[in-house]
Structure 1
Amino acid sequence: MSELNARDVGNQISDPAFHSSPGDYHALLARLRAEAPVFWVEPDEYPPFWIVSRHADIMEIERQPDVFINGPRTLLRKTAVDDQIRKVTGGRPFLLNNLTNMDGDEHRKHRKLTQMWFAPARIKVLEDELRAYARELFDRTITGQTQVDFMKAVASWYPLRVIMRIIGVPAEDQPMMLKMTQQLFGPEDPEIRTEQVDVISTVQGFFDYFRDLMEKRRADPQDDLATLLVNAEIGEQEALSYFILAATAGHDTTSSSIAGGMLALLQNPDELARLRTDMTLLPTAIDEIIRWVSPVTHFFRTPVEEYSLRGQTIREGEAMMMCYPSANRDEAVFDEPFRFDISRPPSKHLAFGYGPHVCLGQHLARMEMRIFFEELFSRIDTIELAGEPRWLATNFVGGLKSLPVRFETRDKVDA
C-alpha cells in the first residue's frame, strides 16, 4: 500500500463526487484513523488544512472553544469561492453571520435566543401536530401505491414541513425552500448545479425571502420563530442568517438521517425484523441511525495558539477539519463500528457535535424520526429496495438523493 500523500488525500476528501461513494469515503477515513489520525493535506483548489479523524481528538478540540475557534473558516470551500465571498462582503470570510461561525459571548447570546424553542418540553407540545403531518404525508404518498422514491417522495418532505411550521413559512413556499437548500448544500452535484445558481445567489435568494417574511411578522405576529427573531435585539444580518441556518440545517440533516436509516434497515433485514417485532427499540435504533448516517461530514476549528495533537504541531491559524463520520466509526470507541446494531448501548456518537456548539435541534430531530417511523411501520407490512440508492455529490452536508423502495401496505395485505 502506498504512503498517504497530502495532495491526493486532500483532493479525495474535498471532492464532492468522492462523498457520493460511501464505501470509498469510509475506507479512506479508516486508513487515516489507523495511519495518520492528524494529517496535513494540500488539495488543489482549496486552502490546506489538517484532517482530524479520531473520536478522542475531536472531543479534545470541541472541549476547548477558547483555544479552537469557529472563524475564519468553518467548512470546505474552494479558494476561488472564498475570494468571491470576500469581494462581496468587503473582506469578511462569511456570507452569513450565524451560530456556526460565532464564538464566545456572541455565540452564547444568539444560541440563547431560540434555545427554549427547541427544548424537549417545548417541542413536546407539538407532538400531535407533527404526527398529523406524518399521517397526511403518508396518505398522499403511500396509500394506494406500491413503489416510491423514499427520499424524494417521503423523507425530504416531513422534516421540511416540521421546521417550516416552526419558522413560520407557509406550505405553498416549502418546495422553494427545499430547492434552495439543495442548491446551498449540493452546488457541485450535476443534477443540482446550474450556471445561473451559485452559493452567493442562493444565499441572496434566502435573504430576500426572509426579509419579506420579517416584514409580514412585524405587521402580523404569530407563534413562530419568525416573530421571535423580528423582536430579538440583533441586527438584520444576524436575523436573516439565523433564518437560513434553521431553514436548511433544520430539515436537511433529518431527511438524510431518515432516508439513510431506512436504507440501513433494508440492508440489514434482521435488524428491521427486530424493530418491527419490538418497537421499544426505536429510541436506540434512532441513535444508531444518526451515528450510522452522520449527515454533517465536518466542521472546521482554528487554534488561536500553537497546539500539539497526537505528536503533530498545529500552528496558530492552521484550519482543522473535524470528520464526524470518521469519529462515529472509530474502532477505539465503538464495538464493531461497521455493524448496524439497533440495540447498541447509549451512543457516544458525535453526529450532533459536542460542547457549546452541539446541535440546537437534536431533540426535535429525534422526535421527528420517532414519529415518522412509528407512523410508517403502522401502515406498511413489507418494504424492500426497488433500485440502486444514489448519494448526493457534496463535501459538507450530504446523504441519499434517491432511494427507490417497493412495499405493501397493511390494508392491501389484509384485503
Structure 2
Amino acid sequence: MSTMIDYCAIADPSIWADERGLLALLDDMRRNAPVAWVEPPGFRPFWAISRHADIMELERQSDRFLNGPRAVLQSIDQEEAVRAFTGGSDQLLRTLIHMDNPDHRIFRAMTQEWFQPRSLGKLQQRITELAKRTVDRMAQSKYCDFVADVAVWYPLQVIMMILGAPESDEPLLLKLTQELFGPQDPDMQRQEADAPDMGTVQQFFAYFSAMTDARRANPRDDVATVIANATIDGRPIGHLEAMSYYIIIATAGHDTTSSATSGGLLALMRNPWQLARLRDDPALIPSAVDEMFRWTTPVKHFMRTATEDYTLRGQNIRKGDALMLLYHAANRDEEVFEAPNEFRVDRSPNRHIAFGYGPHLCLGQYLAKMEMRALFTELVPRLEHVELDGYPAWVQSSFVSGLKRLPIRYVLTDG
C-alpha cells in the first residue's frame, strides 16, 4: 500500500458543505497524492482517485473496476443497516449505478431511446414554456431563495412530465429526494428515529408500486409505462430493479440539475463580467451550461471495486480494493483545464466528466443540458441585477450534493 496520508476528511459529509475547505482538500490530494489510500474512522478503507486522466482510465475498464457491490461511499454502520434491512444484501437499491454488465447494458437500453436528443426534441416546446413560467414567477418578487423557490422545482417539474406523475405529487417527491441524497444533513435527513434511509426507500417503493399498477392497467406515452411493462427474456423485470429504476430517474433526474442551476447562478453572481458576456452573446449559453456542470459537479463521486491487481501511478491496487472516483477533483485538474479555478462561460474545449465517462455515462445528460439552456436563455436577458441577500449554504453529502440555500435579491424585466 502507499505511504499513509491523512485525507480521511474526504469521507466526512461536512467537508462537502465547506466550499473552500473542500476545494483545498481536493487540490492537495490531486497534486500530492492523486492515488491515496485512506482509512477514515467508521469506514472501510479505499483508494481516493482525484486526477482526471486516472478516473477516465478506470472508467474505460468496467470489467476490471466494478460498480457493485460498493457503488457509493457508506459508513460501516450504514452498510450494516442495509444488510439488516435487506436480509443480507449490500444494496438497498439496484439502479443503473449499482449494476455491471451484462445487466447494466440490458437495463440501460430499456429507456435509452427516451433520453436521446431525437426523442427529447418533442419536449423542447414544453420545457421552454416551463422555463418562461418559472422566470415569470420570479419576476413577481424582488427576493427569493433561488434553491428553494426556483432551482429545485423547475427540473422536478420536467421529470414529473416525463414520468407522467401529477403536479400535486411534486412536494412528496422533492422531500423524498432530499432525504435520499442528504441523510447526513440535518436540514435534509428524514426525521425518524430508526432506519431513516429505509423509511424513505419504503415510501418511494409504495409510490412507484402504485404507479406500476396504474401503467400496466392503462399504458401511456411516458417513461413510467416503459419501466412498468419492461421485460427480459419475456418476463417482467424484478420488483427491486423496477422500483430502483423509477427512483434513480425521479431523484438524480432533477436533483443534479437543480444543483448545477443554482451553483451556476452563484458562479455568474460572483463573476459579473461573465454574466455580462452572456447578456451580450446568448450564443454562449450552451458552453456556459457545460461550464456550470464542470464547476458544480453535482455527482461528487462513485465507488468502484477492483477485480484484479492493478498498478496506477506506481500504487499497487489489490483485487477487492475499493476506489473512490472524485469527479469534483478531476473537474478542477490543471493538467486538463486551463485556469481550472476560473469560471469561464466560453470555456472550450471543456472535457469535464460531471456526467461520468465510459459505459456509465449519465443517461440524462442531454435532458439536463436542455433544461438549463432553456432556463438561462429565458433568465439571462431579463436579469438586470442580482446579488446575494444572505449566505449560501451547501448540503452535507459526499455523493450527490450542491447548494441548499441561495438567498438573492434581483431585478427582472417583464418577459
* Structure-1-length-normalised TM-score: 0.96
* 1:110 positional shift: 0.3
Deviations along 1:154-212, whole A, 9 cap, x unmatched?
01100000011101211000111001000000011111232346211111110010001
Equivalent residue, structure 1, for 2:196: 198
Residues 1:67 and 2:26 are matched in the alignment: no
Distance 1:244 1:178 in 2: 12
Name the CA distance, whole Å, in 1 between partners of 2:265 and 2:4. 36
Q: 1:396 matched to which residue of 2? A: 399
Deviations 1:302-346 (A, max 9, x none): 110010001000011110000001000001111110011111103
**1:54 Cα offset (Å):** 0.4
The amino acid of 1:307's aligned partner reads: Y
Equivalent position to 2:151, from 137, 155, 177: 155
Q: Which residue of 1 aligns with 2:361?
A: 358
Distance 1:344 1:294 in 2: 16
Counterpart in the other structure of 2:95: 98
Out of 272, 288, 292, the residue aligned to residue 275 of structure 2 is 272
In the aligned structure 2, how far is the partner of 1:173 from the partner of 1:304?
42
1:90 Cα offset (Å): 2.2
After TM superposition, give the deviation of residue 5 of structure 1 in Å: 5.4
* Partner residue, 1:172: 168
Offset, 1:119: 0.1
> Is the CA contact 1:147–1:407 (under 8 Å) kept in the aligned structure 2?
yes
Matched residue SS, 2:7: helix
Looking at structure 1, the residues matched to 7 and 18 of structure 2 have their Cα atoms a distance apart, in angstroms, of 15
Paired residues of 1:284 and 1:346 also in contact (CA < 8 A): no
Please, which runs of 5 or more residues in structure 1 have no aligned partner? Answer: none
Q: Which residue of 2 aligns with 1:81?
A: 78
Contact residue 7 and residue 29 of structure 2 kept, 8 A = no
| Aligned-partner Cα distance in 1 for 2:197–2:291 | 32
What is the CA–CA distance in structure 1 between the aligned matches of 2:134 and 2:287, rounded to whole Å?
25
Does residue 1:26 correspond to 2:14, yes or no? no
> Aligned-pair RMSD on alpha carbons?
1.5
Tell me, in whole angstroms, the C-alpha distance in 2 between the residues paired with 1:275 and 1:139: 20
Q: Which residue of 1 aligns with 2:120?
A: 123
Shift of 1:404: 0.9
Give deviations 1:358-392, integer Å, cap 9, x for gaps. 00000000000000111112433222222111111
Task: Output one character per residue of 1:208-258: Cα deviation in whole Å (capped at 9) or x when no partner.
Answer: 100011111122211111111111011221111100000000000000000
Q: CA deviation at 1:18?
A: 1.1
Q: CA deviation at 1:357?
A: 0.2
Q: State the identity %.
A: 50
Distance 2:336 2:33 in 1: 17
Task: Return the match for 1:49 from 35, 43, 46.
Answer: 46
**1:220 matched to which residue of 2?**
218
- Deviation for aligned residue 1:406: 1.0
Counterpart CA distance in 2 for 1:18 and 1:143 is 35
- Which shifted more, 187-196 or 159-168? 187-196
The Cα shift of 1:139 comes to 2.9
1:290 and 1:238 mapped to 2: Cα distance?
28
Q: Counterpart of 1:202 in structure 2: which amino acid? A: T
